[in-house]
Amino acid sequence: MFRTVIALLAAALASAAAPAQDKAEPAFPPPAAGKTTAPPKTAPKAPVSFGIPGEVEINFLNGSTVRMLLESEKIDIQTPYGQLSVPSRDIRGVEFGLHFPEGVAAKIEQAVKSLGGGDYRQRDQAGKTLLDLAPYSYPALYEASRAGDLEVSRRAKELVKQMQAKHPKKDLKISSEDRLITPTFTIVGKILTPTIKAKAELFGQVELPVARMRTMRSLFGASFDVDVTIDATKYANVGQWMETEFQVDGRSTITITAKGVVDTWPQQNGQYMVGPNGLQERNLGVPRMAGFMAGRKIAGPIQGQMYGGMLVGKIGEDGEPFIIGERYEGSPEAEGKLYLHIGPSPWNSGSTGSYEVKIARKQ
């Protein structure tokens, strides 16, 4: 039987029912003489199966997480190319965009209009209503903060700041797009199915409103591990990031391991070859130095003198870069695709070589 966290399930169901330069001599000491080897080749691994058929883990907007058996046969999603009906057995995960509970959209629209009213009591009440309807009201307030009406914009900006201080960043969505992940590709569109049928061991069958969900992932079938090769020729250049198919959900612990060799100055006949910890490790003379810094955020440009040859990552196209090195393990709060990058050469030279990277979500 699948596991059920009773307290969390009760909370989730209660929530669901509620409304709503020029080259210079290097500063680094040359490595010890010895023969260097090419990056190791790794054979692709067969996917690992686990879980019970139909078992899913659902994360709700109130922060609760439960495991249930999915009973909906399909999920309908509208895309720019037409409507698709995706069988539940093919769904590996869903990242839900913004969905309004019944009647909430109209309340938000009216409250935003009232921010520009002539009666201060009406404006004050509108602000309270919008705060009460957060995080659903965040996108409308975000747009209002950029409005041409200076008074409306000022009030909206103040409300936006209050929401940002009170709610986690992952809950303040400005996009209504849903992302439905299958074994072969990700479908982006708007889920039309208003509720999802599921079954809990102690509560029986329930219908869960999509508007109350943050993410859903399958616990049966292929694992969430992703193996990629990042080529320094392309991705050790300023601004070049490799998009992986690994989705960070903002809750789970993930591990990233890397191995391989990158030559940060090929013109010097192999004298500046490094591993995923980069030149920093050699510069400081401490083995696996980047391991102590894994997960540390990188403020400002990724400069070669500090991060040359080092494997770094970010979550989402606009995410803040962080150090990975040979190994990273942590629970990022951000959500989105994982992107990888290799720190550029500090000598304005194109790097060569590659790293083999394994990305996994801990179960």
Same domain, 12 and 110: no
Contacts of 49 (CB under 8 A, 6+ apart): 220, 221, 222, 223
Q: What is the mean pLDDT of each run of 10 residues along the chain (363 residues)?
A: 41 44 42 43 40 80 86 94 93 88 90 89 93 90 86 91 86 82 88 92 87 85 75 96 86 91 94 91 59 83 93 93 95 89 94 96 71
Is pTM beyond 0.75? Reply is: no
* Contact call for residues 130 and 108 (beta carbons, < 8 A): yes
Same domain, 207 and 78: yes
Domain CATH code at residue 349: 2.60.120.430
Same domain, 331 and 267: yes
pLDDT value, residue 107? 94
DSSP string, 246-314: EEE-SSS-EEEEEEEEEES-GGGTTTTEE-TBHHHHHHHT-TTHHHHHTT-B--S---HHHHTTBEEEE
Alpha-carbon distance of 344 to 361, in angstroms, equals 28
Which of 162, 195, 218 is the C-terminal boundary of a domain? 218
Domain range enclosing 82: 6-19+40-99+176-218
Same domain, 240 and 330: yes
Same domain, 212 and 353: no
End-to-end Cα separation, the chain, in angstroms: 17
Is residue 11 included in any domain, yes or no?
yes
Give the count of domains, the chain: 3
The residue type found at 358 is: K
pLDDT value, residue 20? 38
Same domain, 161 and 182: no
Is residue 356 included in any domain, yes or no?
yes
pLDDT value, residue 110? 93
- The owner of tokens 């508007």 is 211
Same domain, 126 and 272: no
- The owner of tokens 């201080």 is 165
DSSP string, 69-128: EE--SEEEEEETTEEEEEEGGG--EEE----PPTTHHHHHHHHHHHTT-S-HHHHHHHHH
Is residue 27 included in any domain, yes or no?
no
Is residue 34 included in any domain, yes or no?
no
Is residue 303 included in any domain, yes or no?
yes
Same domain, 63 and 196: yes
Q: Output DSSP code: residue 155.
A: H
pLDDT in tens, 78-135: 999 999 999 998 998 898 988 888 889 899 999 999 998 888 899 999 999 999 998 8
Alpha-carbon distance of 174 to 79, in angstroms, equals 18
Residue 46, token pair as written in the block: 């067969």
Same domain, 237 and 303: yes
State the helix-helix crossing angle for 120-132 and 150-166, rounded to 10 degrees. 30
Same domain, 272 and 320: yes
Is residue 35 included in any domain, yes or no?
no
Distance of CA 322 to the CA centre of its chain: 13
Is residue 279 included in any domain, yes or no?
yes
* Contact call for residues 229 and 358 (beta carbons, < 8 A): no
Provide the b/e sequence for 15-49 (b: ≥16 CB within 10 Å).
bbeeebeeeeebebeeeeeeeeeebeeeeeeeeee
Is residue 29 included in any domain, yes or no?
no
pLDDT value, residue 26? 43
Same domain, 136 and 243: no
Same domain, 86 and 164: no
Cα within 13 Å of Cα(248), Cβ side:
26
Residue whose C-alpha is closest to residue 232's, from 122, 340, 75, 79: 340
pLDDT value, residue 292? 60
pLDDT value, residue 296? 93
Alpha-carbon distance of 144 to 156, in angstroms, equals 6
